[in-house]
Copies of this chain bind each other. A is one copy, B any other.
């Protein structure tokens, strides 16, 4: 099995953008090529595009070919669009990774894009329900916020996690996003502000939820040999894991505060990388709601089960703590353009492990992790290392 590394990365401005799908694609393409002057469009052998619902937001399928044409790429070995709701970008990274590892290609671009804000925001909100079962759950209002609210309630009941601790995740991530010029929100936040914001699904308030964001991101993956030609500091994929155990809420384990598939996906990724949780310096975790980040600390092994609330309250997941979580601002501060999220997380880890993250730089970051859930019962973990 051949090693695979990131050799270029770029992101667009995230936000409620006055831009269409193609504008976002062009912007991410420009950014990724600008990030590595040795990289030429004609060298890209494959293209994988992570995106969830251009069918609904732009009446458009056949997205990989649209992207290829937008960027002037003519993939001679691989072209595909991947979708796995909130993990669509990371699922695309794993397609490219496997394709290179198997020896089928040497240089593949992975681009994630999502245009979610629409002139008619009622339609945009309806679209957000596409991730849960339309027939059995979405139609009864069981979309993402109430699901994760159940997890928060269970965690509070079982482990004494407080609303303030939930708020502290949001405060940290909004403050991180302040240092990220590409983030949706760049004003920072204070605990009181979070706790006084509108209730969305008890106990989750507006500032504890990721917003409806437009954006795109792109990275280029290469075989080790190709990577050495293209950069002096490639960032390798050391391991990955994905576990899917439940889609609809009714199919999930009884205790919403425990997410066993995340623990398993992490164990697989750590095992492949030959490392332990203690070795992670920087992590981009899927804080679609603040409770998700608290449970992630626990299931990823950063702290004991039930101590996630304490972990954030003590600053263990911030700069100077045990592991810096979501330096980019996370989904809460940076925004969550579904297909783009996993790719943007990888772009951040690339920048962090190369020591190029500027104001957001995590000191001596050697090993990074990205995590996506695509529902409480489905998790994907990737681990990256420099050299």
Contact = CB atoms under 8 A, between A and B. Distances in A.
B69 A246 contact: yes
A75 B130 contact: no
A244 B98 contact: no
A302 interface: no
A196 interface: no
Interface residues of A, number: 63
Interface in A78-126: 78-85, 91, 94-95, 97-99, 101-104, 126
A176 interface: no
Contact of A52 (B22, B61, B97, B130): B61
Given A76-B264, A85-B65, A134-B60, A102 B91 contact: no
B69 A374 contact: no
Contact of A134 (B56, B58, B104, B244): B58
Classify the interface of chain A: helix, strand, loop or mixed: mixed
A375 B83 contact: no
A83 B48 CA distance: 10
A63 interface: yes
A103 B1 contact: yes
Interface in A39-74: 47, 52-53, 55-56, 58-66, 68-69, 74
A101 B58 CA distance: 35
A244 B61 contact: no
Contacts of A61: 52-53, 83, 85, 130-131
B1 A102 contact: yes
B60 A130 contact: yes
A62 B102 contact: no
Given A69-B251, A133-B66, A248-B69, A82 B85 contact: no
Closest 10 CB pairs of A and B: A55-B55, A101-B102, A65-B247, A61-B130, A62-B85, A102-B102, A98-B98, A69-B247, A79-B244, A81-B83
